[in-house]
């Protein structure tokens, strides 16, 4: 390296190193530029994905302190555990789903938790022993053949839950999507309040125990690949019964998240996605250009609900239960906070913000609180005031950076005039 042979004088060194930087980095940059555009966007993504996918394998080693990695990270003390990571992924999935409704289409939904609840309870109905009256098995794994209740393969249940939730979304959407902006927000908030209460009181609906009241439905079956595939190629028979179940849940959740992100990105660039964005930008103009408002909005609702339902079902399978106390208005706001913080409409922004916020929610804030109370004279229960902190984040973002951490490329392009096609979430930063 040129910098090693540089003279001691700071000024000269500065000049030499800047020259070296210019030469070397230019070379690297040129080489980088020469790569096809596809590879340029693919390589970092693959590296990142590899790092994330192998996370359960090295997290424990890192947390114990390995090479240069400190055994205790400042502020947050340690990396999130694998089970926290599963929850993070589930919440990111929901945030990506909500992003379709709020970010792409500009429909403020304050009741997204309702979809989460519907998904979780669909899983509860279709993959547990809740309905003792019947015994129905379809591809269930690791469960006694004679067990009462409906036991459908969880993979299938995920899809069914998504579909049921999408239908719920359409049912909620049809009467309400005619309303404009803030009224819509209030109506969705109303549904977000009603559905948890129905769930809570649903243990004696006309004498029928639909939701088992405040005790919730448990245990819910776990996904798995069954005995056949298990003995043939060594795939896990049933996640919950495997000894490394958290890792299995982690990888499955990651796969689901990748599918969600892929769908979300492809949808954004589709005809439907462009219609959503047109509606978001100017409803009247969009209608004048022939975009069918109601149908387009209802699609946004249904698809956003679909992902919420899948995430809810998966989460309940991971926790092996669906409980009414999980569904609070606060969760809706929490998800909304992820979308806002990440940048409305920006998938990658929402993923990053969702990961950060759900991490803070699960482990981070309490760890920070521990750190504060131990290493500083401040005594403050950070976790207790988490929603105050989120509120502060929301307001500050609205005041100072309403486009979010990683603004949607389309919005940036609109501002910067020089419109390019193709990739470029990060690419145009120096342009």
Partner 1 sequence: MVLIVVLLLRNFVDDPQEFINVFLIGLTTGCVYGLVALGYTLVYGILQLINFAHGDVFALCGLIASSIIADVLFLQRGDGALVLVGGLLLTLVMTMGFGATINASIEFLAYRRVRSQSRLTMLISAVGMSFIVQNIALIIYDVNFRSSPDLIPQRNAFTIGDVSMPWDKVAVVLITIPVLMMLTWLVRSTKQGKAMRATAQDQDAAAMMGINVNRTISFTFVLAGGLAGAAGLLFLSQFNMRYDTGFELGLIAFTAAVLGGIGNLTGAVLGALIIGFIQAFNEGLAIWTPGSDWTRSIVFGILIATLVFRPEGLLGERTPEGA
Residues near partner 1 (CB under 8 A): 106, 108, 110, 175-176, 178-183, 185-187, 189-191, 193-194, 197-198, 200-201, 329, 333, 336, 340, 384-385, 387-388, 390-395, 398-399, 402
* Nearest distance, CB of residue 347 and partner 1, angstroms: 19
* Nearest distance, CB of residue 388 and partner 1, angstroms: 3
* Nearest distance, CB of residue 193 and partner 1, angstroms: 5
H or E element in which residue 149 lies: strand 149-152
Question: With the C-alpha atoms ordered 73, 74, 75, 77, is the resulting torsion angle positive or negative?
Answer: positive
H or E element in which residue 136 lies: strand 135-138
Euclidean distance between CA atoms 90 and 331, whole angstroms:
13
Helix 245-269 to helix 55-63 angle, to the nearest 10 degrees? Answer: 120
Nearer to partner 1, 193 or 221 (CB): 193
* Nearest distance, CB of residue 358 and partner 1, angstroms: 17
Nearer to partner 1, 378 or 399 (CB): 399
* Nearest distance, CB of residue 103 and partner 1, angstroms: 11
Half-sphere exposure of 166 toward its Cβ, with a 13 Å CA cutoff? 17
Nearer to partner 1, 80 or 103 (CB): 103
Nearer to partner 1, 107 or 313 (CB): 107
* Nearest distance, CB of residue 172 and partner 1, angstroms: 9
Residues with Cβ within 8 Å of residue 183, at least 6 apart in sequence: none
Nearer to partner 1, 403 or 424 (CB): 403
H helices of 202-328, in order, are: 226-233, 245-269, 271-281, 283-288, 293-319
* Nearest distance, CB of residue 130 and partner 1, angstroms: 21
149 dihedral zone (left: phi>0; alpha: psi -120 to 50; beta): left
Nearer to partner 1, 66 or 387 (CB): 387
Nearer to partner 1, 302 or 339 (CB): 339
Which one, of 342, 353, 347, lies nearest residue 304 by Cα?
A: 347
Torsion angles phi and psi, residue 64, rounded to 5: -80, -10
Q: CB of 373 within 8 A of CB of 379?
A: yes
């Amino acid at each position: 390296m040129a910098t090693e042979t540089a003279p001691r004088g700071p000024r000269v060194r500065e000049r030499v190193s800047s020259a070296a930087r210019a030469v070397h980095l230019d070379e690297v940059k040129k080489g980088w530029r020469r790569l096809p555009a596809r590879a340029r966007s693919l390589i970092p993504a693959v590296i990142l994905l590899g790092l994330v996918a192998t996370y359960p394998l090295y997290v424990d080693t890192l947390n114990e302190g390995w090479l240069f990695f400190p055994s205790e990270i400042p502020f947050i003390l340690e990396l999130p555990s694998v089970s926290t990571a599963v929850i993070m992924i589930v919440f990111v999935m929901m945030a990506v789903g909500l992003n379709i409704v709020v970010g792409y289409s500009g429909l403020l939904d304050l009741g997204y938790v309702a979809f989460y609840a519907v998904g979780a309870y669909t899983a509860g109905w279709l993959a547990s022993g809740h309905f003792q009256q019947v015994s129905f098995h379809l591809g269930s794994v690791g469960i006694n053949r004679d067990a009462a209740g409906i036991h459908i393969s969880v993979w299938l249940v995920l899809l069914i839950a998504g579909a049921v939730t999408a239908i719920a979304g359409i049912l909620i959407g049809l009467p309400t999507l005619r309303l404009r902006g803030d009224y819509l927000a209030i109506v969705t908030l109303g549904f977000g309040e009603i559905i948890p209460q129905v769930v809570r009181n649903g243990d004696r609906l006309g004498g029928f125990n639909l939701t088992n009241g405040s005790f919730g439905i448990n245990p819910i079956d776990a996904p798995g690949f069954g005995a056949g595939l298990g003995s043939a190629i060594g795939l896990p028979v049933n996640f919950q019964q495997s000894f490394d179940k958290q890792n299995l849940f982690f990888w499955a959740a990651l796969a689901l998240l990748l599918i969600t992100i892929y769908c979300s990105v492809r949808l954004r660039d589709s005809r439907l996605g462009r219609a959503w964005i047109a509606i978001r930008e100017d409803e009247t103009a969009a209608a004048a250009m022939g975009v069918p408002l109601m149908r387009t909005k209802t699609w946004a609702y249904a698809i956003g609900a679909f992902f919420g339902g899948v995430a809810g079902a998966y989460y309940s399978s991971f926790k092996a239960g669906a409980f009414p106390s999980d569904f609070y208005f606060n969760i809706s706001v929490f998800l909304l906070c992820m979308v806002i913080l990440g940048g409305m409409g920006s998938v990658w922004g929402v993923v990053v913000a969702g990961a950060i916020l759900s991490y803070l929610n699960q482990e981070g804030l309490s760890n920070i609180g521990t750190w504060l109370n131990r290493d500083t004279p401040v005594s403050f229960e950070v976790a207790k005031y988490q929603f105050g902190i989120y509120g502060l984040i929301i307001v500050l973002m609205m005041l100072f950076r309403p486009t979010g951490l990683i603004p949607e490329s389309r919005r940036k392009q609109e501002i910067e005039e020089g419109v390019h096609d193709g990739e470029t979430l990060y690419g145009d930063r120096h342009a």
